[in-house]
Amino acid sequence: LQKSLSETFGADKYSRARKEVLTYMFSRPMQMALYFCTGVLDDETLFHHYALNVPFYTHFTSPIRRYADIVVHRLLSASLGASSPIKMEKEAIQKQAEHCNDRKMASKRVQELSTDLFFSIFVRVRP
């Protein structure tokens, strides 16, 4: 897709901007990952990662970035016996996961609206 977009838009001064906007618009419909506590879900198919085709999947980045990553690090460390278990009930962990999902979706929505605004202005000033 990226190669096709690059070839289609040539090399004028606006080609990069057009390519970035369309790349964003193509990737926008992809399903966003959600945080959840495995202990409250009965359906293990929800743990599946479609693109990687693996039945169980977890993801995290550096724990300095997001609270959800801190929780995943702590849970993983406890499950491997490297630290003591977290003193939170699974329902409380799920509530935190839902809050993180809500904030992530709100942030994504603001980003989308900002991109839409930029694109509208870009189209208005460039016939």
Q: What is the pLDDT along the chain (127 residues), one digit of tens a residue?
A: 667 766 776 677 777 777 777 777 776 666 677 888 888 888 888 788 777 888 888 877 877 778 888 888 888 899 999 999 889 999 999 999 999 999 989 998 998 899 889 888 988 887 6
Q: How far apart are CA 125 and CA 113, in angstroms?
A: 18
Q: Note the pLDDT of residue 114.
A: 93
The closest of 86, 84, 81 to 96, measured between CA atoms, is: 86
Q: How far is CA 109 from CA 55, 113, 114, in A?
A: 29, 6, 9
Tokens of 91: 């329902």
Percent helix, strand, coil in the chain, to 5, is: 60, 0, 40
Beta-strand runs (E) in the chain: none
31, 104 contact by CB (below 8 A):
no
